[in-house]
Structure formats: C-alpha cells, structure tokens
Amino acid sequence: MDPTQTTLIGLRDAIAARKVSATETVKAYLHRIDRYNPPINAYHEVYDDLALKRAADVDAGNIKGPLAGVPIAAKDNMCTSYGRTTCSSRMLENFRAPYDCTAVKKLEDAGAIILGKTILDEFAMGSSTENSAFGPTRNPWDRDRVPGGSSGGSAAALAADLCAGSLGSDTGGSIRQPAALCGLVGLKPTYGRVSRYGLVAFASSLDQIGPFTRTVADSALLLQVMSGHDPLDSTSADIPVPDYVGELNQPLTGVRIGLAKQYLSDANDPVVAKAIDDAVAAFKKRGATIVEVDLPHTQYGIPTYYIVATAEASSNLARYDGVRYGHRTEHPEDLIDLYSRSRAEGFGPEVKRRIMLGTYVLSSGYYDAYYLRALKVRRLIKGDFDKAFEKCDAVLCPTTTGPAFRFGEKTDNPLEMYLNDVYTVNANLAGIPGVSVPGGFATVNGTKLPIGLQLLGKVFDESRLLRLAAVIEAEAGCSAQRPKL
C-alpha cells in the first residue's frame, strides 16, 4: 500500500496490523516532501533524522499509542524542544524553545511522529500565508492561488499529502478558512478545550489549537488525543473529554440546524449557496429540523475582532524587544535605539500594522471609545449565539464566500483581506467550536477549486458538531479527492 494515499485512521490501523511499517511510512512522506515541498513551500523545517529514529522505535514496539507511527506536521508557532520555532518571522528566525507545546506533546505521547514545522502568516497574522518572512505557501489545487491563512502551510502540507494530519491555530478562522480553500476538514475547538501552553501568543483570549485532517473521523481522533485539562494553562477547562470517535455514529434524532440570514449573503459564490442547499436537504433526509435563527450583531464581528485581536497582539508582542531573545539589532546607540531598531528589523509590515492598531486602541483617550466598546460588542455577539442555541443545536453557514483567490489579489487592500474572515471571526469572539468540511468544488477558468461549509456549535459540544459534520462529508463526497500535483 501507499501510506501517503489513505486516511489518518486507515494509516494508523495499517501500521498496527503491520501492513506497512512506520519506517516505510515516514520514508514515503519524506520522499514526497523532497519532491513537492519546494514548489509549494508548506514546510519551513523538516526533521528527517528525528522522524526516522522515532519510526524505528515504533516498529520495535518501544513507542505505542492510538497514533503510533502516524506522521503529523505542526504549525511553526508551536514550541518544541527540537528544531526552531520561528512563527515565520525574522524576529524569531533562530529561536529554539526550551519546552514543548502541550498539544504537540500529547500527540507524541500517543505515538505520533512530528515530521516538521509549517509556514504561516507571520505570528499568525493573515488570511493568505503571503505574510511569511520565509516566502508564501502555495495552494496545491492551484499554485497561483493562496492556501488561506494563517495556517496555510499546515493546510497545504496535508492537501499535498506531505503528512497524514496537521496542527494549526485559529484566532479568527486560521484553521477553518485554509481548510475550506484546500479541501480539508478543519476544527476549531471550544476555547479551553485544548491547552494553549507552548503556542506562541497572538491574541490570548481568541487563540485555539486544532487539527487539519482529510476526514471527520480523523479530526475526532486528533481532538480526543489533544483535549483535556492542562495545569500549565490557566484557561484550560477542567471537564471530562468525550469519546469523540466512539460517539461519531450516534443517531441525530431530533437535531435542529439553524440557518441565519446574516450568513446567506448574495456575496456568496453560487457554488457555496448550492452546497448550503444540498447540506440542508441532507440534514432533512436524516430527520433534522431546519430553523431560522437571528445573529443580529454579525456585521460587527470584523471591526470588533480587529480591535480586540490587535490590542492583545500589541501587548503580547511587546516582549520582543531585542533584550532577552529573538532578533537583536547590531551596535545600538542606547536602549531606545535597541528597542526600536530590533522591532523595526524583526517584524514584517502586517505585524507592524496590527501592533500600531492595537497600541492605538489601548492608548489614553481612545481606550473607552474603541477597546472597551469592542469588548461590549463581543459580549453582544456571544449573546446572539446563546439565544440562537436555545432554538438549534448548531448553525450551518459558509466558511468563506468562495474558493481561493490569487496571490497579490488582496494584498494592496488590507480591509478587503480582513473580510476573508467574515464568517469565521465570530466563533472566536464567542468562544464556541466550529468546523469546516469540504462542501464541493467551484470551477474557475477550468481549474477545480474546493469550497467549505461551516458548522458552529454550543460550547464544549464538539461531539455533536463532529456528527453533524460527518453528514455533510457523506453528502458532498469530497474527502477522497486530491489535487493533481
């Protein structure tokens, strides 16, 4: 068998049954990385020797677990005690973390093999992975188009079969949006479900780690392994973790699917609109009830997000001052010169833009007008979802308005770029889980491009969300399709 052409669970079972060895599996993926990573630029760093050594330990029976031998890619804003953790920034170009991200460590404890670190928009700030200091990542479905962002490298690596699964972080849609544009399942868990320890902070009240996979069942497995209370993260929820894989096949009797008019915009590509209609028909066929819900503050999501997120980014990124670690300018004249030149040289344009925005909204005289007001609107957005979930169990909506856009198409207009997250940011503001599932394909100038559908669920209700996502997966039938490289 070709270990690179199956699902994560299928590969895990094949390794366990000794139909293929972990070493053969890792070698097959490393061969594909050698061949296809240069034109796609999904990986920033690949750990050939470490991966092969760990694979040998799996084959020898020294490493066991529910993910034994499965090759995974991690976004390069997750700390590991091996390799570098750069956040795709010159600021951290040579940074080596002294500890491991809890989510990555849990996967390794379950037997997974980390193949390498993937490219992202610098410090996870972007929607296209064009903001990386180490070059943009290209969409495997069409290399002239973006893979989405900020977790574009993790999405592209999986779409090109350069790993069996991957990890991303989602602050305003950075897992779900690239999953939609690359034809994958992308899951943002409830805030607090997965530990953030070891994730380099962008906006601490919004950041969450989650998986990219080819199937819903694969996502259920990775989420189950990563979830749980972590004493190293004070925002980690101390509640039991369900059996996500075991509960996937439970019936959906009496389930209610909400449709909000705010998400059914004329701006949506006709293929996206049709995919929504097809999903509604599939849910009805399985006995679900479709209800209308109102999310009246949806339109304020983008401005609220870009105040809250930039404010937190301004605070979090203040630590990069050229003193303790990270980029340090040469021959500074004094302390102020050290600070200013180190930061000017280390940060890219988009990061600088967001730091300035965040510093402005937190400054004296503007705090109440911007930041405090944004927090109040954030509470209203959460209230909208609370009321909606009194009438339904999940909200169905698009992940993006259409398929992937071309490189450079939106870089000259930051506001247009920010609107790529119009359907995703509110889930982060409300702290609820969301999952993007492949919903079909659009054909643009003869090129087939994937589009995604999104389900938003109640707090800590990922189990039901995954069961609903499996309905869309079965109806659309896209999970087995791969781009021609």
Is residue 174 part of the annotated active site? The answer reads: yes
CA atoms within 13 A on the CB side of 211: 28
- Burial label for 143, CB within 10 Å (0-12, 13-18, 19+), is middle
Is residue 151 part of the annotated active site? The answer reads: no
Catalytic residue, candidates 166, 174, 314, 436? 174
Whether 182 contacts 449, CB under 8 Å? no
d(CA 75, CA 77): 6
d(CA 231, CA 195): 9
Catalytic residue, candidates 88, 150, 236, 479? 150
At residue 132, the 3 state secondary structure works out as coil
Our CA angle for 211, 29, 147, nearest 5°, is 50
Edge-first strand order for the sheet with 165-169 is: 43-46, 113-118, 71-75, 165-169, 209-213, 185-188, 434-444, 447-457, 394-398, 256-260, 289-293
- Listing DSSP states for 152-192 in one string gives HHHHHHHHTTSSSEEEEE-SSSTTHHHHHHHT-EEEEPPTT
Catalytic residue, candidates 75, 105, 106, 117? 75
At residue 358, the 3 state secondary structure works out as helix
Both tokens of 126, joined, read 């972007």
Provide the b/e sequence for 238-248 (b: ≥16 CB within 10 Å).
eeebbebbeeb
Whether 115 contacts 46, CB under 8 Å? yes
d(CA 253, CA 111): 36
- Burial label for 344, CB within 10 Å (0-12, 13-18, 19+), is exposed
Residue type, 338: L
Residues with catalytic roles: 75, 150, 174
